[in-house]
Amino acid sequence: MLDQKLIRSEPERVKAGVAAKREKVDIDAYLALDEERRDIIAQVDNLKAERNRVSREIADEKRQGANPEDKIKAMREVSAEVKEHDDKLRNVEAKIENLLMWIPNMPHSSVPVGRNEDDNKIIRHWGEKPSLAFEPVPHWDIAESLDLVDFSRASVIAGSNFALFKGKGARLVRALISFMLDMHTRKHGYTEIWPPSLANRDSMMGTGQLPKLEDDMYHCQVDDYFLVPTAEVPLTNIHRGDILDGKSLPIRYTAYSPCFRREAGSYGKETRGLNRVHQFDKVELVKFVVPEGSYDELESLVGDAEEVLQALGLHYRVLLLCTGELSFAAAKCYDLEVWSPAQAKWLEVSSCSNFEDFQARRAGIRYRPAAGEKARFVHTLNGSGVALPRIIVAILETYQTGDGRLKVPDVLVPFMDGADVIE
C-alpha cells in the first residue's frame, strides 16, 4: 500500500498516478475519512485527558473525606462517550484500510505515460528473427505430430485451455525447469525454494493480488485458500511481518511453481495451443533489497531473465511498460517477449517489476540498517525467470526442422538424456 503520509501531503500527485494507471479510486474520499479519523482521535484524547484530570480530583476529594459522587457520575458519562468515539474510530479506520487496499502503487518517474501496449517503449532486441527455408508450422501442430502435448485429453480431464504434456514433451518441461533453476542458483546467486502452491488471504493481500484480482484467482472457499497465480506470492510472504538484518540484504529467492489463473474475461483471443492456459509452469525470481539500490537491482533482474533466453537462442525484445500497462502493485516494469515464427507475433514470457515499498507496507516487511537504527521498509522486486508455455511455443516454432523433427537447444541436451533431436 502507499505511505499514508504521501497521500495526505501530495494528493494531486496520487490522483495523477491513479489516473495514469487507469484505476478508479476516490482519493478525496480517503482524505475525508483521514480528516474524520484525526478529528475523532483529537476528541478522544481531550476526553481522556479530562477523565484523567477529574480522576485525580476524585481521588484527592476521597482522601479528604468528601463525596465526589457528581464527578464520578460525570466521568461515567465521559467514559461512555470515549467508548462511543472509539467505536466510531474503529469503523472509520476499517473504511480507510479497505480504501487503501484499492489505491495502486505510483508509477516511477522514468515510466512513459500511456494508455495501452502501443505506448510501451522498446528498449532493445536480442538476436535475429529465425529465417526458415520453409513455411513455419504452428506449435500446436508440431506438439501433436511429435506427441508432445495432448490438448484433447487435457480438455477431458479439466476443460478448455489446459495442456497435458506427455513423453518427451513432459521431459522438455522438466528440462527447462531444471536448466533455469540451475542457472539462477549456480550463476546468479539465488537461493532455491520449493513453496506451497496454496496461499492464504493474508499472503495474497500482502503481494497485492487481493482484493483487486480476486475474480482472476482460483479460490478454495471452504478453507479460504487460493491456488497461487505465481510463486511471487509465497516467496514474498516468506518474510511477511519480519524485520530483516540490513546486512543480509539483498536476499534473492528463486522457485519453480505451477501457476493458476482464471483470467476471467480475457479468453476468446490468443487461446489456441499454449498461448494462454489456466495452469502453467514458471520459474520465479524475487528480491528483497535496500531502497537506495532497488532500481539497479531491477536492471540486474532483467539481465538474469534475459540470460535464459539468450542461452536458449531465442529472439526476444525488452519493453518498458507505460503507465496504463503497469500492474496494480508495480512502480516500474519491463516485459520480455519472444518471437513466434509461425504466428508472426511477440509473446510475453517475463515481467520484471520493482514494487518499491508497496508490497512491503502491505506485508509488514522491514529491515534494520544497523543495530539501534529505526527499521525501514524494504523494496521488493520480482520477475519471471521465465514462464514455460510460451517459451515452449518459441522453441517448437524456432527449432523445427521442416521434416517433422525438432532440434533440441544445445543447453537442454544434457537434461534430455543427451538427445539433440525429437522425432
Residue 231 located in a structural domain: yes
229 and 81 assigned to the same domain: no
203 and 66 assigned to the same domain: no
Cβ atoms of 305 and 386 within 8 Å: the answer is yes
For the chain, state the CA radius of gyration. Answer: 27
Residue 107 located in a structural domain: no
58 and 132 assigned to the same domain: no
- For position 233, what pLDDT does the model report? 98
Cβ atoms of 318 and 335 within 8 Å: the answer is yes
149 and 195 assigned to the same domain: yes
Q: Tens-digit pLDDT profile for the chain (423 aa)?
A: 999 999 999 999 999 999 999 999 999 999 999 999 999 999 988 988 888 888 888 888 888 888 888 888 888 888 888 889 999 999 999 999 999 999 999 999 999 999 999 999 999 999 999 989 999 999 999 999 999 999 999 999 999 999 999 999 999 999 999 999 999 999 999 999 999 999 999 999 999 999 999 999 999 999 999 999 999 999 999 999 999 999 999 999 999 999 999 975 555 556 689 999 999 999 999 999 999 999 999 999 999 999 999 999 999 999 999 999 999 999 999 999 999 999 999 999 999 999 999 999 999 999 999 999 999 999 999 999 999 999 999 999 999 999 999 999 999 999 999 999 999
As a whole number of angstroms, the distance between CA 43 and CA 24 comes to: 33
In the residue annotation, 186 being an active-site residue is answered as: no
**Which of 66, 100, 134 is a domain's end point?**
100
Cβ atoms of 175 and 412 within 8 Å: the answer is yes
Residue 169 located in a structural domain: yes
92 and 206 assigned to the same domain: no
336 and 414 assigned to the same domain: yes
165 and 59 assigned to the same domain: no
Residue 53 located in a structural domain: yes
In the residue annotation, 397 being an active-site residue is answered as: no
When divided into structural domains, the chain yields a total of 2
In the residue annotation, 390 being an active-site residue is answered as: yes
Residue 111 located in a structural domain: no
In the residue annotation, 351 being an active-site residue is answered as: yes
94 and 178 assigned to the same domain: no
- Which residue in 348, 368, 376, 405 is the catalytic one? 348
197 and 265 assigned to the same domain: yes
Residue 106 located in a structural domain: no
As a whole number of angstroms, the distance between CA 201 and CA 211 comes to: 9
Look-up: residue for cell 528480491? Answer: 287
**Which of 100, 126, 153 is a domain's end point?**
100
Residue 105 located in a structural domain: no
- For position 180, what pLDDT does the model report? 98
177 and 311 assigned to the same domain: yes
Alpha-helical runs (H) found in 113-271: 139-145, 151-157, 168-182, 201-207, 232-236
Cβ atoms of 402 and 312 within 8 Å: the answer is no
Distance of CA 378 to the CA centre of its chain: 15
- For position 266, what pLDDT does the model report? 55
53 and 149 assigned to the same domain: no
- For position 229, what pLDDT does the model report? 96
79 and 125 assigned to the same domain: no
- Which residue in 171, 252, 261, 361 is the catalytic one? 261
CA angle 390, 395, 398 (to 5 degrees): 120
Let me know if 135 is exposed, middle or buried by CB neighbors in 10 A (0-12, 13-18, 19+): exposed
- Which residue in 252, 276, 361, 366 is the catalytic one? 276
- Which residue in 351, 356, 366, 384 is the catalytic one? 351
- For position 269, what pLDDT does the model report? 55
Cβ atoms of 256 and 281 within 8 Å: the answer is yes
**Which of 30, 65, 100 is a domain's end point?**
100
Domain extent at residue 393: 117-422
In the residue annotation, 232 being an active-site residue is answered as: no
Q: Any idea what the CATH number is for the domain that residue 52 is in?
A: 1.10.287.40
Residue 400 located in a structural domain: yes
- For position 51, what pLDDT does the model report? 83
Q: Any idea what the CATH number is for the domain that residue 376 is in?
A: 3.30.930.10
